[in-house]
Amino acid sequence: MKRLYVLLFAAFTVRGSAQTPVSAPPASDTSWKHSVVSSFTMTQVKLKDWAAGGEDAISWTGRLDGKSILNDTAYVWGNSYKLVYGQAKLGSGDVQKVEDRIEFESIYTYKLGIHVNPFVSASLKTQFTEGVTTDATGKVAPVSQFFDPAYLIQSVGFGYQPVKEVRTRLGAGVREIVTSKYRQYANSPSVPVADWVKVSVDGGIESVTDVEWKPQADVLVRSNLGLFAPIRRISEVTMRMDNTMMINIAKYFVVVVNVQLINDLNASTRTQIKEVVAFGLTYTLF
């Protein structure tokens, strides 16, 4: 009987080994990874016989944030894009835009196997439609339009990622400011009007720091700080900072808080600040 148990155990072991395949080492996944998140927010105020006063108001903003990343064994090629557009109407006044952004960025990083890796990058920032300003008398004046201005930067240098949530890079770059009608964006205030040009080209130093942090499953914080110092005017550092917090309060509902700071002497002698708090719908396309 003991011999029978030994034979049965041996037969079971051999059968189990034959049915259990030996797992092969996982192949490296070098396919593109895409992620696109869209949101639409809207606010409406309608008044009738309202004793405290006020005006009807309506505003809306559409937003699209996307990333495409190819993570190979030897390099990482990341592309990101952001499209934002919004309008508002107060009382009987004309419809005016409150958000207008087209942003693309492409970064190719070569992996050296250490924390500091070389990169090349290119970026574009512009807008969709005409922008206007209104003075104290109510006079409206156009100040910008599509691709006027457009900011392009190409740079090469080294990047560093101390933790998963933080990436920073520093390099030598070339910046082109493209204008057509509104040439003041392409020139320093010290440049004579007769010397204004349509395209301003500056060599300089670029620094970009990105933070993407999820303190909770339904909260996403993103921050981007870009600095560019032209060699010819090293003290005229252009600073652009974009901070966004998205809070999902349900599957398709989101609260968006966005704060932008821009310090660009060509556009204004003061630091520009824009703050937006919006509630609306969100949907992850893929």
Do the domain assignments include residue 12? no
Q: Is residue 120 part of a domain?
A: yes
Asked if residue 221 is part of any domain, the answer here is yes
CATH number at residue 142: 2.40.230
262 within some domain: yes
Q: Identify the band that residue 134 occupies on the pLDDT scale cut at 50, 70 and 90.
A: confident
Say if residue 264's pLDDT is above 70. Answer: yes
- 20 pLDDT more than 60: no
Q: Which of 89-98, 164-173, 209-218 has the lowest mean pLDDT?
A: 89-98
Rounded mean pLDDT of 110-115? 88
Q: Across residues 45-57, what is the average pLDDT?
A: 89
Q: Domain residues for 233?
A: 29-284
Given a cut of 70, whether residue 282 has pLDDT beyond it is yes
Band of residue 194 on the pLDDT scale cut at 50, 70, 90: low
Mean pLDDT of 227-253: 94
| Residue-level pLDDT at 193 | 63
Q: Are 279 and 41 in contact (CB under 8 A)?
A: yes
In a domain, 197, yes or no: yes
Per the prediction, the chain carries an average pLDDT of 87
Determine how many CB atoms are found less than 10 A away from the CB of residue 61: 22
Using the predicted structure, report yes or no on whether residue 228 has a pLDDT greater than 90.
yes
pLDDT at 198: 85
Examine residue 24 and state whether it is found in any structural domain, yes or no.
no
Nearest to 264 by CA among 144, 177, 143, 168: 177
Distance, in Å, from the CA atom of 84 to the CA atom of 15, rounded to the nearest integer, reads 61
Residue range 149-156: mean pLDDT, rounded: 97
Q: For residues 261-284, give the mean pLDDT.
A: 93
Is the residue at 275 inside a domain? yes
pLDDT of residue 159: 96
* Residue 183 pLDDT class (50, 70, 90 cuts): confident
Residue 124 located in a structural domain = yes
User: pLDDT confidence of 14, banded at 50, 70, 90?
Assistant: very low
**Total count of domains within the chain:** 1
Structure token digits, residue 191: 């440049």
